[in-house]
Structures are given as structure tokens and as C-alpha cells.
Structure 1
Amino acid sequence: MQLASVDGLEGTTLGRLSTDLGMSKSSLQALFPSKLDLQLATIAAAYDVFASRVLSAPATTDPGLPSVYALLDAWIDYQGSFKGGCFFAAAAHEFDDHPGPVRDALRKAFQDGRQAVAEQLRLARRFGEITPDTNLDQLLFEVHGAILEANITRQFLADLEAPNRARRAIHDRLAHATNTPS
């Protein structure tokens, strides 16, 4: 996962992995008969990390806005899990125009993350914490955009304040959706 986060899934090969791990290439081929198998296994492992660090976050707090904030904060924190930043953001750029099983697996992970945020936003609305006239699709787009921008700005521009800026943008946007001062 670390290697793929930096070199991309296409750059992650059995030869490179065997060198980095100090294992024989044939030992790895027994586990991953093809590059596709290696890529899908890498995505599955990265998804497990994402699920345990991000998707499980709402379970650690009260439902409603606290769960929204917990999920979004965990997603921002997760971006530091890999040397290359958010594994799925990097891989999505790499495979956005390459149809096939790798793109399908990445797309599902991406959709699962967005769906988790959408569910928490809907729950906060049901609890009366988000105004009824708030367009939840637009709100999701904006808070997810802040998460992605934090990743890009932190990784590409080496701006270590990017996570804090994303949290502030999310806080401000949610304050607007709840009609509370930011």
C-alpha cells in the first residue's frame, strides 16, 4: 500500500515488491499470480485501512453532527496513513479513464466513503441539526471537496496546515447548513 501510494498501482510490480520486501519474486507470484491480482489485493488492503480508520469513526461518538465531524476528521487524519497521501485519491487519478476491475474496485471504495458522509448528513438532518432547505448533495460535494483539497495541498504543495484549513472549511460550511455562527 505504501509503495502504491507513491508509485501508483501501475508502478507496483512483483519485482519491485520482492526487492523492497527481500522476498523472492516466485514467492510473491504464488500469492499474486498476476499484476491484476496484486493491484486488487492492494486495493482491498487499503480499503480495510480506510474502513477501520474512517468509516468506523461515527460509531465512536453520538449520532448527528458529532458523527459527521468524527467521520470527516477521521478522513482528513487518514490521509497521513500513507506516504503518498490518500491512497484512493491517488489511485482514482491514475485509473479514472481505465475501465476494468481495478477502476471498479477503486470506484466502489470512493463511493462507500461518499455514501458514509451522505448517511451521516441525512441523519443530522433527521435530528434537526441541519436545516431542511440545505441541499445535501451540494453539502456532500463541498465537504468532500475540502477533504480532497487537503490531501492535494498537503502532498503536492507540502502545506502542513492543509488539514487544519480543511477542518475550518468544513466547520464553516456545516455552520452555514445549521444556521449557527462559525
Structure 2
Amino acid sequence: MTRTGDARRTAIVDRAMHVASVEGLEGLTLGRLAEVLRTSKSGIQTLFGTKQELQLSIVAAASRVFERDVLLPAEQQPAGLPRLRALMSLWIDYLETFEGGCLFVAAASELDGRSGPVRDAVADAVARADALLQRDVELARRLRELPSDTDVEQLVFELHAMVLQANHDRQLLGRKDALTRARNAVDHLLGIEQQTGDAASPT
């Protein structure tokens, strides 16, 4: 593929991520994308070949966005609780990246009962994010920034649940305070309010 073709493909995928976050990966056919972009279906088909290739390209691109906007900036923070807090804050910010909210939340709900390469790609992306979250929780526990008896897997479950609930409330219910509530819930789970209160208590 020529550089011009690569650039056009990238531009199309960038737009397709937003459309898929609203209409779903399954709803985004080559014809529908051509309609949104006001171009020919044959032109889209030349670049992607099949609907499945388009879907996989969208999932891969969304993964790169998540890495760029969430994972890499969080890695710049000191290991332990600062990095964990940054990861969660950036992850909550990510919910505003696409027009329809988190593309992976939408895709997971759409594909969780199915099988195939697209479902596997979505599952792999979610599993990678969860693994990094678990790594940072475990490290914060080992550094004694979280209690030594912290149930790492339970805390990971609850932190991820805060992200899912925030996306649900923001997108489905139109609650403008959803992201703020998610941040407050994360702070509570990580004991940040308790630490602040302890620091302010008279000795």
C-alpha cells in the first residue's frame, strides 16, 4: 500500500472508531462507513477488504489510543500508588475520548456472547489493561502504600467496575457527574480519603 493509501486508511479508522463507539462494531458495515464519510463503498473495500478487517483495524487503533493516552502517561509516574492513581485518573478521562464513550465497553457488551477474531481482539485488549492494573495494585501493596492484606484481585475488580459504571451512567443515563463520582469512588477504594484524614488529625 502506498503512503497515500496508508494515510487514507489511518484517517478512515480514526473516524470509524467514533462511529463504532456509537453504533457498535457490528453495526458499522463498509457501506455505513462509506455513507458517514461520504465516499464510495468500493473505496472503503479496497482499503480494508472485509468488514472483519475493518473491525480488527478499529480495535487495534483504539488499543493504540488507550496506550498513548492512558498507559504511557501513567508509566511516567513513580511506581506504586502514584502510578496507580494516575492510571485510574487517565482511564476515567479516556471515557470522553470517543463520541459514544469507551469503545471497548460497547464492543464487549456487543460481542461477549459470540466467538471469532474480533471478539478475541476485544477480550485481549481488555485483559491487557486489567493485567497492568493488577500489576500496579500489587506493586502498591508490596511497597506498603496499600494495606498488606489487600485482596489484589478484588481491588482490581472494584476499580475496573468504577470505570464501567461511570461509562454506563454517562452514556446511558446522561449523568454529567458520572466521571467525578468515579474519581471519588476510586479515591475511596484506594484509601486516599482515609490517608488525608489521618494526616490532618492532631497527634
Say whether the fold is shared (TM-score over 0.5). yes
Once the two structures are superposed, the pairs formed by residues 47-126 of structure 1 within 5 Å of their partners are 47-126=63-142
| Structure 2: tracts of 5 or more residues without a match | 1-16, 198-203
Q: 2:46 aligns with which of 12, 25, 30?
A: 30
1:35 shift after superposition: 0.8
Matched residue type, 1:56: L
| Structure 1: tracts of 5 or more residues without a match | none
Q: Does 1:149 align with 2:165?
A: yes
Report if the CA contact (8 A) 1:64-1:124 is conserved. yes
Question: How many angstroms apart in 1 are the aligned matches of 2:154 and 2:104?
Answer: 21
Report if the CA contact (8 A) 1:131-1:179 is conserved. no
Question: How many angstroms apart in 2 are the aligned matches of 1:148 and 1:57?
Answer: 21
1:122 shift after superposition: 1.2
Q: TM-score, normalised by structure 2?
A: 0.85
| Segments ≥4 residues shifted beyond 2 Å | 178-182
Aligned to 1:129: 145
Q: TM-score, normalised by structure 1?
A: 0.95
Question: How many angstroms apart in 2 are the aligned matches of 1:86 and 1:171?
Answer: 21
Question: How many angstroms apart in 2 are the aligned matches of 1:20 and 1:153?
Answer: 27
Report if the CA contact (8 A) 1:57-1:67 is conserved. no
Aligned to 1:180: 195
Equivalent residues, number: 181
What per-residue deviation string (whole Å, max 9, x for no partner) do you get for residues 137-180 of structure 1?
Answer: 0000111101110000011111111111111111111108x973
Question: How many angstroms apart in 2 are the aligned matches of 1:12 and 1:74?
Answer: 27
